[in-house]
Structure 1
Amino acid sequence: MTQRTLMMNALRRRSPAPNGYRRNAFSDSGSESHYSAKRTTSTRRKRLELRGMKSGSGGTISLDDRDPKRKRLENGSEDFGENRATEMALSYTSSSDRSSENDVASSRDSEARDKSRSGVVKCPAQGSISLIGRRREMEDAVAVELGFLNKDSAGFDFYGVYDGHGGSCVAHACRDRLHRLLVEEMEEETTSLDWEKVMVGCFGKMDEEVNRSGRVLGAEGGSATVGSTAVVAVVGEEEVVVANCGDSRAVMSRGGVVVFISSDHKPDRPDELERIEGAGGRVINWNGNRVLGVLATSRSIGDHYLKPFVIPKPEVKVIKRNSTDEFLILATDGLWDVVSNEFACQVVKRCLEGRMKRKFQAFGNGGKLNKVVKESRAAEAAALLAELAMARGSNDNISVVVVELNHAGKCTV
């Protein structure tokens, strides 16, 4: 018997039965509620097997998968074949827990007390959620800064969604710093606000700060291959300003009609393709169209190894508010890859009208996430969109912010 035959026989004996595979699944060492789900290749269905493990204030959702945004530059040793772990657990934290490095998901509900010049107290409601999804690492970040600036007797709220790639440090830096840089830019404007100038300057400063900050890049080996998309919204009494850099997205519902506020920056978008090739770069179809065959978005903060082909300049849109404005959705492509703008708005509209309730039964009835979202329909809508994306097979981190623009709730002053 030849050596090749002996080796093949040995491999057959060691191969597991197709229906019986099992691997060590991801677990979080923190104090948390944890529910897991296992999937077998025989049925190719997601059968949920609930089991409580610990009680506490946090958790994870983790399923192994590739980074859809950025082609791997290093030879990984991970097994991405059929026999992969598919551990899934719902996560939730309060906004006060955001500084924890173990936080991978959050659902927030806030009612900001803002007294307008007419003396009427407004209570804009919002909810946000951020899930690790089917990825090994959480690279998204969400920022909600209510009343982050008062200028000329007008108050503004800030919402941001950041989709990191190659690591999470740039997304985290944007979450912590971008709204502060925006305040600096706005305070420098002595006359009427030029929103495009302010936003472009803010994003440019953020990109420069990431580039020169050894603390930020040093957090992940000093690599210049880390970046993040950014879509932010500044909501005032008279206008909504959205700035987008990358393929995260913002949509608004106005009088039952979907308003497309942002346009995704994809390498094959005609104007972006022309810009990239004009700068001497190329768009290569490698598991999708990518800048130099690497990055699936044509604009981002960071990614300095791809300059000048990938730029941090945002596209800015200013929308004057009116009485028919209903809500605003900001989300990463973990949602938009599997849910259309129209359907997302239908889901949110029904949630806000109280016509759609979700008890998150797949992750445990009566869990703490229910308690987080039950007091805010906006938070419930954000959580439902994230769960819908998971059910539709999203392979990316999923972050969603829902802002009610016509919320008429009462505040206690």
Structure 2
Amino acid sequence: MEEEQLERVDSVTEPDLASTSSGFSSILNTEDSRSTSSSGDISIMSNSSGDIPAILVPEISATMQAEPMLSLEGSTMAVTVRQKCVGKNNKGVSYGFTTEIGRRREMEDAMAIIPGFMSSTCDQVGGCTAPGSKTSGEVSPVHFFGVYDGHGGSQVAKFCAERMHEMIAEEWDRETVDGFEWQRRWESAFSSGFERTDNEISEAAAPEMVGSTAVVVVLSGCQIMASNCGDSRAILCRGTQTIPLTVDQKPDRPDELMRIEGEDGKVINWNGARVFGVLAMSRAIGDRYLRPWIIPVPETTFMERTDEDECLILASDGLWDVMTNEEVGEVARRLLRRRRRSSTTTDEVSPAQFVANNLTEIAYGRNSSDNISIIVVDLKSKRKRQQRQ
């Protein structure tokens, strides 16, 4: 009887084969056109125009669901379920983006979307939800998203979009695991990457009165790692919650105000709190003329992924100036669910792109006076989206 039970269990738990992941890198900054939008799938399961052609990692054979493990205690058979990585090798993620010059004369925003900017095992990246499982030891892509809002010109924002992800990846490789807990290792990689970017801008002789915010998100199979300088922002929509992944670094934020005044700086209310009445943020890349009060030191947060996660949204303050986190989250959830129910495999506009387009229209309709740049990352795998339909 026990042998028959084991045979039946084995017959229903035969592993599926994970599909080959594909990859694409996109670095965007707009000068001449009024707006740009696009979308893509980090998966070869879609046949839309946004499919990503290049292979990120070799084909991986793995179970994509929880692995039942059997143990016999006397005459009773107990079934134990081993947990799997939430992101399931980080495949099936899709994104959409828009960048709109809005009511400004010049486009100073830039963004970078780099699927597979790193390839690593989940347990090496850190924060795996199922350490020791098969998926935790398999090589999978790690994705990068960044929004950069320039001020005084577009040079620094463009440079960040071209180089910052490379420097963060290099710093991650340079950091040693010994003596570093994984979160500390990522914090060090982000901090060094931001500092190197700032130093290289100085060496490139960019004007000292030009700077840029930076908000970046690294998405692994099990973790969402966000790092920011300035007032561009990232949020996570999870179930009915809207979770801020970053906090704006404004000159009147109590801890930032104390730091600035501790360096004999001044925060003056001139159309809002500004450092010496000039810059409306307290941290940024560039802006060498305001050192040491403006610093390129990021703040980093970590969020474990769950099956309830709907989407990530990164945007410049052209969106956040006219919409709160909660408003953006509510609109995104409503539009995503509506689009998923009605979309088909032949739709040219993905649910993530649909959300990005509509948020841009709302912000512009609310008289946003700034450039508007938005990235929406759909965290529901294509398989789950189809099941919900």
* TM superposition score normalised by structure 2: 0.72
Q: Give the 5 Å matches for 1:257-276.
A: 257-276=241-260
| Equivalent residue number for residue 309 of structure 2 | 325
1:385 and 2:359 equivalent? Answer: yes
Contact 2:30 2:107 in 1 (8 A): no
CA shift for structure 1 position 151: 2.0
| Equivalent residue number for residue 159 of structure 1 | 145
Specify whether residues 206 and 116 from structure 1 end up closer, same or farther in structure 2 by C-alpha distance, changes over 3 A only: farther
Contact 1:246 1:264 in 2 (8 A): yes
Distance 1:261 1:169 in 2: 26
| Equivalent residue number for residue 105 of structure 2 | 136
Specify whether residues 100 and 318 from structure 1 end up closer, same or farther in structure 2 by C-alpha distance, changes over 3 A only: closer
Contact 1:110 1:126 in 2 (8 A): yes
1:402 and 2:386 equivalent? Answer: no
Specify whether residues 116 and 291 from structure 1 end up closer, same or farther in structure 2 by C-alpha distance, changes over 3 A only: farther
| Equivalent residue number for residue 179 of structure 1 | 165
User: Which stretch has the larger CA shift, 144-153 or 188-197?
Assistant: 188-197
| Equivalent residue number for residue 133 of structure 2 | none
Contact 1:107 1:373 in 2 (8 A): no
CA shift for structure 1 position 268: 0.5
Match of 1:244 among 228, 231, 236: 228
Match of 1:127 among 89, 92, 96: 96
CA shift for structure 1 position 407: 2.6
Per-residue CA distance 1:317-369 (angstroms, 9 max, x = gap): 01111111111110111000101111111111122112699xxxxxxxxxxxx
**Aligned residues between the structures:** 298
| Equivalent residue number for residue 293 of structure 1 | 277
Per-residue CA distance 1:11-56 (angstroms, 9 max, x = gap): xxxxxxxxxxxxxxxxxxxxxxxxxxxxxxxxxxxxxxxxxxxxxx
Per-residue CA distance 1:88-121 (angstroms, 9 max, x = gap): xxxxxxx979477534532121111376673657
Contact 1:109 1:373 in 2 (8 A): no
Specify whether residues 175 and 96 from structure 1 end up closer, same or farther in structure 2 by C-alpha distance, changes over 3 A only: closer
Specify whether residues 311 and 249 from structure 1 end up closer, same or farther in structure 2 by C-alpha distance, changes over 3 A only: same
CA shift for structure 1 position 226: 0.1
Q: Give the 5 Å matches for 1:3-22.
A: none
Contact 1:374 1:380 in 2 (8 A): no
| Equivalent residue number for residue 200 of structure 1 | 191
Per-residue CA distance 1:142-176 (angstroms, 9 max, x = gap): 11001111123242100000000000000000000
| Equivalent residue number for residue 135 of structure 2 | none
| Equivalent residue number for residue 18 of structure 2 | none
| Equivalent residue number for residue 86 of structure 1 | none
Contact 1:110 1:125 in 2 (8 A): yes
Contact 2:231 2:316 in 1 (8 A): yes
Match of 1:118 among 62, 66, 80: 62
> Residue type matched to 2:41 in 1?
E
Per-residue CA distance 1:372-406 (angstroms, 9 max, x = gap): 98431101101110110000010000001100112
What's the RMSD between the two structures over aligned residues?
2.6
Specify whether residues 96 and 243 from structure 1 end up closer, same or farther in structure 2 by C-alpha distance, changes over 3 A only: closer
1:106 and 2:36 equivalent? Answer: yes
Match of 1:256 among 223, 240, 262: 240
Secondary structure of the structure 1 residue equivalent to 2:333: helix
Contact 2:339 2:351 in 1 (8 A): no
Per-residue CA distance 1:67-104 (angstroms, 9 max, x = gap): xxxxxxxxxxxxxxxxxxxxxxxxxxxx9794775345
Specify whether residues 304 and 96 from structure 1 end up closer, same or farther in structure 2 by C-alpha distance, changes over 3 A only: closer
> Residue type matched to 2:330 in 1?
Q
Distance 1:406 1:103 in 2: 32
| Equivalent residue number for residue 20 of structure 2 | none
Specify whether residues 137 and 234 from structure 1 end up closer, same or farther in structure 2 by C-alpha distance, changes over 3 A only: same
Match of 1:304 among 288, 294, 304: 288
Distance 2:322 2:171 in 1: 36
User: Percentage identity across aligned positions?
Assistant: 45
Contact 2:216 2:228 in 1 (8 A): yes
> Residue type matched to 1:243 in 2?
S
> Residue type matched to 1:168 in 2?
S
Structure 1 stretches of 5 or more lacking a match? Answer: 1-94, 218-222, 358-371
* TM superposition score normalised by structure 1: 0.68
Distance 2:143 2:338 in 1: 25
Specify whether residues 309 and 251 from structure 1 end up closer, same or farther in structure 2 by C-alpha distance, changes over 3 A only: same
CA shift for structure 1 position 263: 0.4
CA shift for structure 1 position 201: 0.7
Distance 2:383 2:36 in 1: 23
Distance 1:295 1:117 in 2: 52
